[in-house]
Amino acid sequence: MALPVAEWQGRTARLWAALEPALRERLAAASLQDAVRLGCDVLRSEEDEESALVQLCHRAPTDKKPEAASWYREQGNQEFKRGRYQAALRLYSKAASHELPGSPEVSVCFANRSAALLHLRHFEVCLEDIARAESHGYPDRLLPKVLLRKAECLLCLGRLQDAQDVLRVLESKIALDGVMTTHLTRLKKLSQLKVQLGEKERCPEPARGEHGGTRGEPEIWEENSRISGASSSLSLSFDAERGRHLVASQDIVAGQSLVKEEAFVSVLCPGESLALQDGDTAWDTRATNADLYCHRCLRQLLASVPCQGCSYAKYCSQDCADMAWQQYHRTECSLGALLLTLGVFCHVALRTVLLAGFAEVSRLVEGSHHGDKNPQSPEGNCRPLSEADAGAGSRGVPGCDNSGRYQSSYQALFHLLPHTEHHSPEHKFLCTLSVVALCKQLQAAGLEAAVLSQESPQQWSKAKTCEKTSDELSPELKTVAEAMLRHVLQLQCNAQAITVMQELGPGDGAVVDKKPVRLATGFFPVLSLLNHSCCPNTSVSFSGTAATVRAAQPISSGQEVLHCYGPHWCRMRVAERQQLLSQYFFKCRCPACLEELESGAKSVVSIRNSFCCPKCQAQMQGEEDTLCCSNEACATSASRDHLSGRLQDLQQQIKKALDLLRVGKADQAVKMLLKCQMDAGTFLSPEHLLMGEMEDHLAQVYATLGKWQEAARHLKKSIEIVEMHHGPSSVETGHELFKLAQILFNGFAVSEALSTIQRAEGILSVHFGPQSAQIQELQEMKACLSELPRNILQRT
């Protein structure tokens, strides 16, 4: 959730409406500095608003609750007994996040989690959890079973000597009872067997890329000397109409990397569910982004390392946890509930100023008061900046340093346009009160010194109590609030969604279906230089907090490099695109929009996603509530509302079919999907995207049943429709071909699988690069098929 919770938005809207007209006018016209000052005055006179905000924070608690830890641990034990080790793993991690640091119970959580990891064959991570359990004071009486687990992991990893050492420690440590002796005998026999079999019989944990796969050659990359993280094939330009933008300084080929940038700041989006709602007596067992990804580097979590101060933040390693604490979490830790309540934009704004440091924040805020490089009024004498340019020509472009270099820095971020004059007064008021309330809480919690970086790193482990009790924000925190307000307003136009391909369903089938989901929100100063087009010439992908921009098609020298902010021409009509783009305060004039607006012709999206006549299947047309058949010989008409209702009912039936598949009732799911398909054929265009989605779902069900030929037949129909909508070289087509390759591989259709793999590789490498996980998996499948005996290859 980018903005604050709905209740806080409602309260600020009512407060705005109740203000004196003169005060509303002052706030609407106020500079960022004056807005903060007026916001402080409003909150000081409206104490009920702050109290209400505190109450709202109770709905999203982030403190540690030992009773929650016990409940999660017991739920994990139940899942473990049922053999559902992945679910148990998540629940043990939730339990660990609620345990108090140093308590014996947290060691039990790690030990229990290590048992689940062993069953899931994550041996290295299992050993890490065993080490955590031991370091956190795991009870001595329970140690034998953990040591046995450790020995078993070492055996499976082929570390025979280490396993024997653990067994010797165990034998010398305790007097073994009968049951334990049985276990030791079994493990000793396994150890002897492993010694006899030698190196070839070891069973290390499978590693991606080891099965004959060949990693793609690393691409040649030459960084631009004047734009950090950008290719030398780009140049930075500026004009009044397009602002700062990137232009190709030489011909660029499809798939070439153009920008490689680490986010200056990123914040994990929490997900759909929070831990508690009013009146709840149990805790949420669902896994959200907050449970699945590292809160610092955004890597996928297997066995999370919890923050020692709160139950919310989780990390992939102790190193990430320590780094986050030093950089920003020492300040954010106690404010977790408030940050969840005020939304991701406020959280990003706070973390931005913490990472930048108060000295740099203060310098730039003060400079903006005196008009230094005012981002609202960039100098008009800026000219294109190429590799050959002298530094003097660069200094007029906002965000460039004194040498004329544009870096992925706080200075560049600060000079992204906040569009203060374009935001509605109500929205600015909401953002102002939210930022001021957050800064007042920083002061009240004694965190002002940490925010202003007045403590040495050795003192960062504990936030000292602030002696200041005044209700008035200090001048320094007003500066921080002004910078944060600027960043919250900037985010509406410059926030970059960090996405990840997330598996749909349990992910344990032969064919894995994935979709892109928003994982985090961040600031990327260099990526923000790219202007929008509904028909872009680039593709953006993410690995953790790093973004890579690649050319999705050849780009000629002198052509602007463009990125799609979301509304793509092949996904929605021009009116819908223009409506969505209004949040960026510009009207799109890209070729796709101009063609649709000027010709007045119906968009391809409208035609393909149209209703068809229930009688003759011709396209239904009309702009009013009543649609008429386009076939003059057929006078059929139908209500738009009636057909839209049928479409909604159909979508609900498809959802029920997928729910049946998720609970293992594939046969019933097939019957329901086939019935949906027949119904859809009576009123939807054959090219309708939903028709393609149903073919995709049927392929998924047949693959679950092991009917590979049927699965491939339906997926090919889906690909035809996807290509029609998105194009044969689109990322959407690439994902569908990847699934088809999996189906053909599992169905032993070797020749067709190899040709599909080749085509999928060609498309996906352009969008994601040769090192991506999907490319590596395709190469592994290709290597496996190529190693088959020649007579089998000839037959298939």
Q: What is the pLDDT of residues 467-479, one digit of tens each?
A: 444 578 999 999 9
Residues near 140 by beta carbon (within 8 Å), at least 6 away in sequence: none
Output the six-digit token pair for 406. Answer: 């544009």
pLDDT at residue 141, as a whole number: 80
Report the chain's mean pLDDT, rounded to a whole number.
83
Q: Using a CB cutoff of 8 Å and minimum separation of 24, what contacts does 352-357 make?
A: 352/264, 352/265, 352/410, 352/413, 352/483, 352/484, 352/487, 352/523, 353/451, 353/480, 353/483, 353/484, 353/487, 354/327, 354/328, 354/451, 355/264, 355/265, 355/327, 355/328, 355/410, 356/410, 356/413, 357/453
The average pLDDT across 786-796 equals: 64
pLDDT at residue 195, as a whole number: 57
Ranges 54-58, 160-164, 761-765: which has the least confidence? 160-164
Angle, in degrees to the nearest 10, between helices 689-704 and 731-746: 20
pLDDT at residue 759, as a whole number: 95
Ranges 191-205, 297-311, 598-612: which has the least confidence? 191-205
- Let me know: does 127 contact 93? Beta carbons within 8 Å: no
Q: What angle do CA 51, 53, 57 make, to 5 degrees?
A: 115
For the stretch 484-523, pLDDT in tens is 999 999 999 899 999 887 766 544 455 556 677 889 999 9
pLDDT at residue 398, as a whole number: 75
For the stretch 518-573, pLDDT in tens is 899 999 999 999 998 888 999 999 999 999 999 999 999 999 999 988 767 676 77
pLDDT at residue 32, as a whole number: 95
Residues near 466 by beta carbon (within 8 Å), at least 6 away in sequence: 443, 444, 445, 446, 447, 448, 449
Residue 90 φ/ψ region, left for φ over 0, alpha for ψ in the -120 to 50 degree band, beta for the rest: alpha
The average pLDDT across 187-210 equals: 46
The average pLDDT across 572-590 equals: 76
Indicate the length of the chain as a whole number.
796
pLDDT at residue 766, as a whole number: 92
Taking the alpha carbons of 291, 297, 301, 302 in that order, is the dihedral positive or negative?
Answer: negative
Residue 605: pLDDT over 70: no
pLDDT at residue 468, as a whole number: 47
What's CA 258's distance to the chain center, in Å?
Answer: 21
pLDDT at residue 660, as a whole number: 92
β-partners of residue 503 are: 514
For the stretch 651-686, pLDDT in tens is 999 999 999 988 889 999 999 999 999 999 999 988
For the stretch 395-410, pLDDT in tens is 557 778 888 889 889 9
Predicted TM-score (pTM) of this structure: 0.84
Output the six-digit token pair for 606. Answer: 């409208």
Ranges 400-404, 463-467, 704-708: which has the least confidence? 463-467
* Nearest CA among 134, 731, 39, 710 for reference residue 425: 39
Residue 461: pLDDT over 50: no
Neighbours of 367 (CB within 10 A): 14
Distances (CA, A) of 230 to 53, 104, 378, 496, 570: 43, 50, 22, 17, 28
Residue 211: pLDDT over 60: no
Better pLDDT: 453 or 428: 428
Residue 115: pLDDT over 90: yes
Residue 601: pLDDT band by 50, 70, 90 thresholds? low
Using CA atoms, how far apart are residues 504 and 339, in angstroms rounded to an integer? 29
pLDDT at residue 457, as a whole number: 40
Residue 744: pLDDT band by 50, 70, 90 thresholds? very high
The average pLDDT across 335-347 equals: 96
The average pLDDT across 575-602 equals: 74
- Let me know: does 385 contact 226? Beta carbons within 8 Å: yes
Residue 790: pLDDT over 70: no
Taking the alpha carbons of 570, 571, 573, 574 in that order, is the dihedral positive or negative?
Answer: negative
| 267 φ, ψ (degrees, to nearest 5) | -135, 130
Using CA atoms, how far apart are residues 588 and 532, in angstroms rounded to an integer? 8
pLDDT at residue 603, as a whole number: 53
Neighbours of 606 (CB within 10 A): 16
The average pLDDT across 21-36 equals: 94
- Let me know: does 412 contact 465? Beta carbons within 8 Å: no
Using CA atoms, how far apart are residues 310 and 307, in angstroms rounded to an integer? 6
Using CA atoms, how far apart are residues 536 and 564, in angstroms rounded to an integer? 6
344 by Cβ neighbours in 10 Å (0-12 / 13-18 / 19+) ranks as buried
Greatest mean pLDDT range, 120-129, 505-514, 635-644: 120-129
pLDDT at residue 389, as a whole number: 41
Better pLDDT: 196 or 728: 728
Which percentage of the chain shows pLDDT scores above 90?
54
Ranges 71-75, 207-211, 697-701: which has the least confidence? 207-211
Ranges 149-163, 180-194, 263-277: which has the least confidence? 180-194
| 357 φ, ψ (degrees, to nearest 5) | 90, 140
Output the six-digit token pair for 215. Answer: 């990693």
